[in-house]
Structure 1
Amino acid sequence: QIEILQVDPVVFKSTFPLRPQVELGDHQHIRLAPEPAEVTEEEINSVMEQLRERRAVWAPVEHPVSFEDLVTIDIEERSEGNSINSYQGRQFPVIQDSPIPLPGFAEHLVGMKKGEEREFSLSYPDNYELKELAGKQYNFKVKLIEVKEKHLPDLNDEFAKSLGQGIETLDALRESTATSLTNVAEERARRDFEQRVIEAVVDLAKVEFPPILVEQEIDRLLSERDRMFRRQGGLESYLKTFNKTEEEVREELRPGATERVIQSLVLGKLAEEEKIEVSPAEIDAEIEKMIGSTEENAEELHKIFNTQQGRRWVEERLITQKTVQHLVEIATGNATKEGESV
């Protein structure tokens, strides 16, 4: 930032951010124990039920509508001052306390019989998240066309075979499910432990940095949201959907962005002091690994990652991974002895 103080002769004041200052604490003596990765029978049973749900069959029934049924309905909808919108043959899952299309809609369907018509009015709550809909009333006229009831398959060997995964028995399916859940739990425990170790190192460090680093991190996070919502209209659509200004979102992101900046600076300083490096061969291998995990645009990704900027990004990613792994080894008492390479 340049401020002109005087024109003749020219006198100006230049303001620029200072380099971040990081003073590491005694991280060599951090000791933490990872939490065990456990899988319960309840978790296994939950997955088994999800598998049953995916193979559910919906059969027509003649009884009145109940919660958990699937109904086919004709709908006429009108809000104050607007014309009627008609929808024919819409399928609607009758789920208790569902907010779709409005809170209370599903409850008004319960007890209806095939061919029956009902009229009712519903309003959005006055404190509804989208202010343009808060308190707005809608009038509905609904005709019930069909009711279907969900039938779940039995959990047996035949069900296990039907999944087509080379599994022949229910016991084998449960064992496979337990293995998958254990792998997920171990990965989650690993990430959680790494984060605990990073936080412990950060707590011991003294960090000073210019505020512009946080603003740049917020800009990056906003760009991510813009990409995520690109098909729905980008960041502008995101702000409109949640009825927020960009400044409000920036303030919501600020604490997390500040934490990320501090962690990045501490890890960078530690990598520098510990002389943690990666070789060109390691960068090449990581690029191949990353591209190998995608099915499309391999040639384009090769071009991107093999630019100077792309390779630098991969290098920084690997250095961070090595640094975190080194900290984990310190925290668990398995650090490389002095004199050995990192």
Structure 2
Amino acid sequence: MQVSVETGEGLQRRMKVALPAEQIEAELDKRLKQMARTARLSGFRPGKVPLKLLRQRYEEQLRHEVVGDLVPSAFAEAVTQESLNLAGRPSIEPILSPEERQYGFTAVFEVFPEVELADLGGKTVQRPQVEVTDADVDEVVQRLREQRKSWQPVERPAQAKDSVVVDYQGRIDGAEFDGGTGSDVRVEIGSGRLMPGFEDGLVGASAGEQRILELSFPADHPNPELQGKAAQFAVTVKEVEEPVLPEVDAEFVRSFGIAEGEVEQLYRDVRENLERERRRRTGERVKAQVMDVLLEVHTLPIPESLVKEEVQSLKEQAREGLQGNPQIDLPDSLFEDTARRRVTLGLILREIVQRHEIEVDAERVRAAVEELAASYESPEEVIRYYYGDRKLLGSIESKVLEDQVVDWVLASLTVEEMPMSFEELASADAGAEA
């Protein structure tokens, strides 16, 4: 088998492989003879069709099949022979010239770049120093109370956090529009669920009162026909209710699955959840900074084929999130920057793992699974489930290995401790995610 490789633009390679004509023709004759044993053609008994006739009819088809069957193993052998490190799938075109007894194929593909690990000296990351306080726990319990609040009618004007039951009729330029009418609609003042100004316009209103609200739809409203349009809403207030929060007692505690109804247990569970969240957010904050440093100090070409694959993966994830319209056609450009970042980081992390022979730590994997399972009602069952599913466990192993690489990089960086509250940690991460 003869192999030649040409270097194309960037990381592209063009490999031409010549297959032995004797091997192709011998396999072709073998398949023709096998076909002759059972072939059926009009005018001939089964198995009695002349080989010459079968060759005339099927030789070209069988020749393509023979070459096609040999390509995968020949390609793998050629890649090994030439010590090529493939990135992405190759594009393969067969070569068939029986007159000249030339057979083979041309494969076009990209290879992984050589990654030179850069010096990380002088680079700094900041690690949040956060303590979960009693106030943080109390705030979560307060939110849990608000989630289970009930409503009580009041004989007073509406105020912030009240619930107002209304009928409304909207018009644009004097004409009604789709979605502009509502009956017995509950509006929680201050929730921000309705268009800007609607909830605020009900502050001070009493049951039985009618109001006219002059509002404008936001410029980025989901309905293009309403974007930026001025609208008038005639609103009738039918009822005003105030929130009533439940007491933190045994009944309240049991509603969260704590069978004994112990209030202290609820507070312990909330604190444990906050501690897990603190560790997760702190780790992600540090990891993001480490990744930024790695991108800053490394410049390398990246295989476009891997970028395209990553773009498609990101598009698929985005479609899954669009439950209302999963078939929407999202442009590749929307995901390209993220895809390039991921591919570049993947190449750098891969080189660090290989160069320093970092292997996934089984104990850290177990700890990660146990931490994930701790938030479920039956942790042991969740742990068995993960260890019984190779794909699920593999996702945890990949994350743990990435964390180990982050730890390795941190050993070469200056790490500054940055005190902050849990609220600041959470709000900073929320801003980064947005």
Where does residue 162 of structure 2 map in the other structure?
69
Post-superposition Cα deviations, 1:262-295, rounded to whole Å, max 9, x if no partner, equal: 111111011111223459x99x989x98998999
What is the CA-CA distance between 1:54 and the residue it aligns to? 2.8
Where does residue 267 of structure 1 map in the other structure?
349
1:188 aligns with 2:281: yes
* Cα RMSD, aligned residues only: 4.7
1:149 aligns with 2:242: yes
Where does residue 330 of structure 2 map in the other structure?
246
Post-superposition Cα deviations, 1:33-67, rounded to whole Å, max 9, x if no partner, equal: 74323235553443243133234332111112223
For 1:200 and 1:88, locate their aligned partners in 2 and report how far apart those are by CA, in whole Å: 55
Percent sequence identity is 25
Decide whether aligned partners of structure 1 residues 292 and 168 sit closer, same or farther in structure 2, where only a CA change above 3 A counts: closer
Q: Is the 8 A contact 1:123 1:136 kept in 2?
A: yes
Q: Whose Rg is larger?
A: 2
Where do 1:72-87 residues align within 5 Å? 72-79=165-172, 80=175, 82=177, 86-87=181-182
Q: Is the 8 A contact 1:160 1:173 kept in 2?
A: no
Aligned amino acid, residue 263 of structure 1:
L
Where do 1:281-296 residues align within 5 Å? none
Structure 1 stretches of at least 4 aligned residues deviating more than 6 Å after TM superposition? 28-33, 288-304, 310-315
Aligned amino acid, residue 405 of structure 2:
T
Decide whether aligned partners of structure 1 residues 292 and 187 sit closer, same or farther in structure 2, where only a CA change above 3 A counts: closer
5+ long unaligned stretches in structure 1: 4-11, 237-244, 334-342
Alignment partner of 2:309 out of 216, 227, 234: 216
Where do 1:131-150 residues align within 5 Å? 131-150=224-243
More strand by share: 2
For 1:39 and 1:78, locate their aligned partners in 2 and report how far apart those are by CA, in whole Å: 50
Aligned amino acid, residue 122 of structure 1:
L
Where does residue 146 of structure 2 map in the other structure?
53
Alignment partner of 2:252 out of 152, 163, 168: 163
1:232 aligns with 2:321: no
Where does residue 17 of structure 1 map in the other structure?
110
Q: TM-score, normalised by structure 1?
A: 0.67
Where does residue 201 of structure 2 map in the other structure?
108
SS in 1 for 2:145: helix
Decide whether aligned partners of structure 1 residues 24 and 256 sit closer, same or farther in structure 2, where only a CA change above 3 A counts: same
Decide whether aligned partners of structure 1 residues 299 and 120 sit closer, same or farther in structure 2, where only a CA change above 3 A counts: same
For 1:55 and 1:198, locate their aligned partners in 2 and report how far apart those are by CA, in whole Å: 41
For 2:158 and 2:120, locate their aligned partners in 1 and report how far apart those are by CA, in whole Å: 63
Q: Is the 8 A contact 1:128 1:134 kept in 2?
A: yes
Give the number of the structure with larger relative contact order, counting CA–CA contacts within 8 Å between residues 6 or more apart: 1
Post-superposition Cα deviations, 1:293-313, rounded to whole Å, max 9, x if no partner, equal: 99999999999747xxx8977
What is the CA-CA distance between 1:23 and the residue it aligns to? 0.9
For 1:178 and 1:110, locate their aligned partners in 2 and report how far apart those are by CA, in whole Å: 37
What is the CA-CA distance between 1:227 and the residue it aligns to? 1.0
Q: Is the 8 A contact 1:73 1:88 kept in 2?
A: yes
1:43 aligns with 2:136: yes
For 1:290 and 1:57, locate their aligned partners in 2 and report how far apart those are by CA, in whole Å: 34
Decide whether aligned partners of structure 1 residues 55 and 274 sit closer, same or farther in structure 2, where only a CA change above 3 A counts: same
Q: TM-score, normalised by structure 2?
A: 0.55
5+ long unaligned stretches in structure 2: 1-90, 94-104, 416-434
What is the CA-CA distance between 1:193 and the residue it aligns to? 2.3
SS in 2 for 1:90: strand
SS in 2 for 1:22: coil
